[in-house]
Amino acid sequence: MSALLTVDRVVKRFGGVAAVDGVSFTLDAGSVLGLIGPNGSGKTTLLGVLAGTHEPTSGTVTLDGKVASGKGAHRAVHAGIARTFQTTRLFGSWTLREGLRLAHGERRGRQAWSDDRLADLLGLDGLLDQPCASLTSAAQRLAMIALALATGPRVLLLDEPAVGMDTAEAAALADAVRRAADELDVAVVVVDHNMQFLMPLADTVLVMAAGAVLAEGTPEQIRADEAVIASYLGEA
């Protein structure tokens, strides 16, 4: 079947600087793509272009054959691409259930996963009716993912989801992301620095440096690739 998401030569310039300089890749439903690279390599900007936060200077992002980039974040969501943020952003005074209700409203008729199913998937059961501000920081990061999933996306973009989590919480998160990909048939792109969390989770890995794709392949291939080691990983 043709790829779910096609990213074709996307460029994003801020003033003179090309934060993303001609990136192309494809993504199939249900697969998890790890996006790694040193700070300033353009990972977050690329994620922003995919999610519609930024308008690409050139190049396109198409989902199911329809162009989804450059029309603003809310149209990306309606097209089926949802994201979370590096810094936790939630509707503090709302309960998670109220946030989910809003997100459900924006599904544009796509498949709906019930609050309980999402809570079970992300290990948030019993926390649905508390104000989000009173959740633990790890739970808040999971709540952000729940909100994104509630919009019934085909593609889920996670921006450093495991930051600030201990190994147990990161493992639980990896398990939840894998279940989301498998059970909900969602394609996931994960940007993170936590290799113990990312490598076992990702089906394929894309390494970026200075705005361009340095290497792409399975986690094992990436680990062996000298160029990647030289620019980024140091010794394996």
Partner 1 sequence: MRKHASALGSSALLSVLAYLALTGLQGDQGQVALLVVVWTIALTGLNVILGLGGYPSMAHAAFFGGGAYLSAILLEKGLSMTVAAVVSVAAIMLVGFLVALVFSRTRGQYFAIGTMFFTAVAFLVFTNAAEFTGGPTGRPVDLGYSLDATVVLLAVSVGAGLAVFHLISVSRFGDRLRAIREDEDLAQHLGVPTARVKLLAVVVSAGFAAWAGVLFGQYNGVIAPSQFTFVQSFLMFVALGLGGAGRLLAPVVGALVVIGLTQLLNLGPGVSQIVLGVLFIAVTLLAPNGILGGITALTRKVRRKEAVA
Query: Is residue 51 a contact residue for partner 1 (CB under 8 A)?
Result: yes
> Which CB sits closer to partner 1, 18 or 94?
94
Query: Is residue 72 a contact residue for partner 1 (CB under 8 A)?
Result: yes
Under rule CB under 8 A, which residues in 143-162 are in contact with partner 1? 147-148, 150-151
**CA 197, 236, 84 angle in degrees (round to 5)?**
25
**In angstroms, what is the minimal distance from the CB of 85 to partner 1?**
8
Query: Is residue 73 a contact residue for partner 1 (CB under 8 A)?
Result: yes
Cα 86–chain centre separation? 10
Query: Is residue 90 a contact residue for partner 1 (CB under 8 A)?
Result: yes
Cβ atoms of 31 and 187 closer than 8 Å: yes
Cα 186–chain centre separation? 11
Query: Is residue 71 a contact residue for partner 1 (CB under 8 A)?
Result: no
Binding pattern for the stretch 101-140 against partner 1, x by CB under 8 A and - elsewhere: xxx-xxxx--------------------------------
Query: Is residue 53 a contact residue for partner 1 (CB under 8 A)?
Result: yes
Identity of the residue numbered 200: P
C-alpha distances in Å from residue 102, one per residue of 76, 89, 96, 98, 148: 16, 15, 10, 6, 11
